[in-house]
Amino acid sequence: MPEEQNMAKITLQNIKHSYLRQPVESQDYALKEVDAVWSNGGAYALLGPSGCGKTTLLNIISGLLTPSEGRVFFDDNDVTDIPTIERRIAQIFQFPVVYDTMTVFDNLAFPLRNRGVAEDKVKLRVNEVAVMLDLEDSLKRRASGLTADGKQKISLGRGLVREDVNVIMFDEPLTVIDPHLKWLLRSKLKELHQQLGITMIYVTHDQTEALTFADRVLVMYDGTVVQVGTPVDLFERPGHTFVGHFIGSPGMNILPCEIRDGAASFAGNVLQTASPLPTADNERVEVGVRPEFVRFDDSGFAVEIVKIDDLGRYKIVVVRCNDSTLKMIVDEDIRIPSESPRISFDPEYTRLYTDGWVVE
Amino acid sequence: MGIELKQVSKRVGAEIHIHPTDLVLDAGGFNVLLGTTLAGKTTLMRLMAGLEAPSGGEVWFDGKNVTGIPVQKRSVAMVYQAFINYPSFTVFDNIASPLRVARVARGEIRTRVGKIAELLRLTPMLDRLPAELSGGQQQRTALARALVKNAPLVLLDEPLANLDYKLREELRDELPKLFQDTGATVVYATSEPLEALMLGGHTATVHEGRITQYGATAQVYRTPNTLLTARVFSDPPINTATVDKQGDTFVFGDAAHWPVTEKYAVLPNGIYTLGIRPHHVTVTGEHADGVVVRGIVQIAEISGSESIVRVEVAGNSWVSRSHGVHPFEVGDTVELHMQVQRCLYFDSGGELVAS
């Protein structure tokens, strides 16, 4: 098992990165300004669409890339200029990296033998890791005969076998895995994290993977971290309209909002929300509410039903009010009114946003 | 256009890829082929397109036997999982290429490409090369090329599989709308049950070279004729267990028993396989017809809004899916509420006998 002192808290301080030699404006930066602290032993996910900067950030932590500005610390040591190999990091990529001609055992032993570890210790450690990953029955097999998920487990095993790793980083590790095996492998990762307490950072564009794996999720958008929170925070209290849109399926309804006479209203209907009223003028005000928190309610406001999609477990009902359309998720047991439907928003989960940011 | 498969089969050497299949597609509608990788979806499409010749049976278009007619003469359009565009052509030229092959007049090409580009929100990108586009835009270009031909049969083979899931969500919403007014018959292959439900229309469940059921999508989902169809059309997998009907009681081993209600009264006594979907076995007991079963937690997954737990219930590995976030410890015993009115009962041959 890895020793406590081998692991590290990771601190990113004012990190900016541009792939251009002489960046001028904000658009020239792949990372605009990132400050983050990743505590020792945490399970983190970096979630965002392609091009948001998440892989750039991962490469800065691993040392494959030196940031244009800012510093990276492992505990109190500035590692910004230290090469990858000295950072003691294990990385698992989208496509499994295995030596096809070697046995599973030799694949797992490779990083240890490379470092000159004695053979009896290698054997002990490889067997330990094989048990963790349920690979003990295939140790003597050639890696080439394994399925994609088996190979990905070997990639992971090669990371775990070293006892000196500071952090294990995953870059979209389940992309090539069949859907029904994904959740088994995901649960395995989670179990290993709980068992070993190593810091793990998981990069993905897939909300399900991020939310189910991580204790804390960093949502990235256009080179910045827009929110850091637990899966429940991101679902119930999106800090930015992008988070509301990106997480959840369908995403949060983002609707035009008017502030008048000390009240927020949508399409002429006064709303109760969890946000205080915004103070500044001239800002674009929107109201955000997830489809899960919109319901049919005879005392609510009138809408017109545009479309009903039956997804079995629930229905997605698209309704229109003035010029806005919004979606609601309606459980299969709930009757959809056929005449003059009225809806309301759950005030506890309805928030105001100015220029995209939540008002709190 | 009406498309019909009559006893169509495909064998390659000694291997049977498609067993003799009869299928009449919903003409002018959206038809989903749902099944796992290698179930035979792509082969079925290739047989419809004429890219492969059947080993037996006939393919009919609009009441005409087209079995021997090659793909070029069938006026079909096909879009694959990987975005296939000509890398050295602009978006405009990519979309225009099938019209140029068909020697359509230049003015008409401009009009038709313009219209399709508008529909697929590609107008600002018409002068760009595919490499300068995002994945979603590249796939929209490939779709535009398939649409611009106005082909009466459009075959889409997992066209969204390579896209970010948010984009997938968006295009999934748009696709049925796009084809609605064209009158084209669309066939769409997917391995994801949720995608089939989102696309709506009709669904054929495909399993090991056979179509196990075909009908309106929501109906196939709610009333699968066989256990096999129920399995193909479930993610997470449908829970199953053996139950014994003894007079007016269903007995689920020592785990639970419940009264036989009116709609199941006609079933003869004996052993049945029960099927119940994960969201009908929940940790919260808000349902009046819930029967309590106990399970041991094996794996738990919590997302921001849901809890999905794999539990062992009387020797069966089940999945429970509940609203909200509930803490679970592996190895704990939990009480689950099973909505018995949602149970499907199958006989020993896997045929649905009551739902």
Transcribe A249-294 into DSSP letters.
SS--EEEE-EEETTEEEETTEEE--SSPPP--SS--EEEEE-GGGE
Q: Identify the residue among B198, B199, B229, B305 best suited for mutation to test binding to A, counting A beta carbons within 10 A and taking the highest.
A: B305
pTM score of the predicted model:
0.86
B189 strand-pairing partners: B33, B157
What is the layout of strands, in order, in the sheet containing B290-302? B281-282, B333-339, B290-302, B306-313, B316-323
3-class DSSP state of A43: strand
**What b-and-e string marks burial along B184-216, b requiring 16 or more CB atoms within 10 Å of the CB?**
bbbbbbbbbbebbbbbbbbbbbbbebbbbbbbb
Q: Which of B212, B232, B252 is the last residue of a domain?
A: B232
How big is the CA angle at B24 (ends B216 and B187), to the nearest 5 degrees?
A: 70
Q: Clarify whether residues B43 and B63 are in a common domain.
A: yes
Query: Given CB atoms, is B237 within the 8 Å cutoff of chain A?
Result: yes
Q: Clarify whether residues B252 and B294 are in a common domain.
A: yes
**pLDDT at residue B18 in the model:** 97
Q: Clarify whether residues B184 and B103 are in a common domain.
A: yes
How many CB atoms sit inside 10 A of residue A322's CB?
13
Residue A195 distance to chain B (closest CA, Å): 12
Q: Which of B180, B206, B232 is the last residue of a domain?
A: B232
Residue B301 distance to chain A (closest CA, Å): 6
Q: Clarify whether residues B181 and B244 are in a common domain.
A: no
**pLDDT at residue A194 in the model:** 84
**What b-and-e string marks burial along B74-93, b requiring 16 or more CB atoms within 10 Å of the CB?**
bebbbbbbebbbeeeebbbb
In this structure, which topology does domain A250-358 adopt according to CATH?
Answer: OB fold (Dihydrolipoamide Acetyltransferase, E2P) (2.40.50)
Q: Clarify whether residues B208 and B274 are in a common domain.
A: no
**pLDDT at residue A1 in the model:** 37
Helical spans, DSSP H, in chain B: 41-49, 91-101, 106-119, 135-148, 165-180, 193-199, 217-222, 227-232
Taking CA atoms, what residue in A is nearest to B176?
A309
Of A179, A180, A187, the CB nearest to B299: A187
H or E segment and range at residue A243: helix A241-246
Tokens read off for B12 = 């390659």
Write the pLDDT tens digit of every residue in B127-171: 999 988 877 788 889 989 988 988 999 999 998 887 777 888 888
What's the domain count of chain B? 2
Query: Given CB atoms, is B82 within the 8 Å cutoff of chain A?
Result: no
Q: How high is the mean pLDDT of chain A? A: 90
**pLDDT at residue A185 in the model:** 82
Q: How do the pLDDT tens digits run along chain B, 355 residues long?
A: 999 999 999 999 999 999 999 999 999 999 999 998 889 999 999 999 999 999 999 999 999 999 999 988 888 999 888 778 999 999 999 999 999 988 999 999 999 999 989 888 899 999 999 988 877 788 889 989 988 988 999 999 998 887 777 888 888 888 888 888 788 999 999 998 999 999 999 999 999 999 999 999 999 999 999 999 999 999 888 999 999 999 999 999 999 999 998 888 889 999 999 999 999 999 887 666 689 999 999 888 888 788 999 999 999 999 999 988 888 888 999 999 999 989 999 999 999 998 7
Q: Clarify whether residues B255 and B160 are in a common domain.
A: no
Query: Given CB atoms, is B326 within the 8 Å cutoff of chain A?
Result: no
Q: Do B197 and A231 touch (CB under 8 A)?
A: no
**pLDDT at residue A179 in the model:** 66
The rounded distance, in Å, linking the Cα atoms of B79 and B325 is 40
Q: Which of A184-188, A207-211, B131-135, B183-187 has the highest mean pLDDT?
A: B183-187
CB A54 within 8 Å of CB A220? yes
**Residue B328: CATH number of its domain:** 2.40.50.140
The rounded distance, in Å, linking the Cα atoms of A27 and A18 is 9
Q: Which of B188, B210, B232 is the last residue of a domain?
A: B232
**pLDDT at residue B278 in the model:** 95
How much is the ipTM here? 0.83
Taking CA atoms, what residue in A is nearest to B288?
A333
Q: Clarify whether residues B108 and B23 are in a common domain.
A: yes
**Residue B159: CATH number of its domain:** 3.40.50.300
Q: Clarify whether residues B130 and B191 are in a common domain.
A: yes
What is the dotted CATH code of the domain comprising A4-236?
Answer: 3.40.50.300
pLDDT at residue A55 above 50?
A: yes
How many CB atoms sit inside 10 A of residue B261's CB?
12
Whole domain around residue B128: which residue ranges?
3-232
Q: Clarify whether residues B56 and B185 are in a common domain.
A: yes
A331 or A51, greater pLDDT: A331
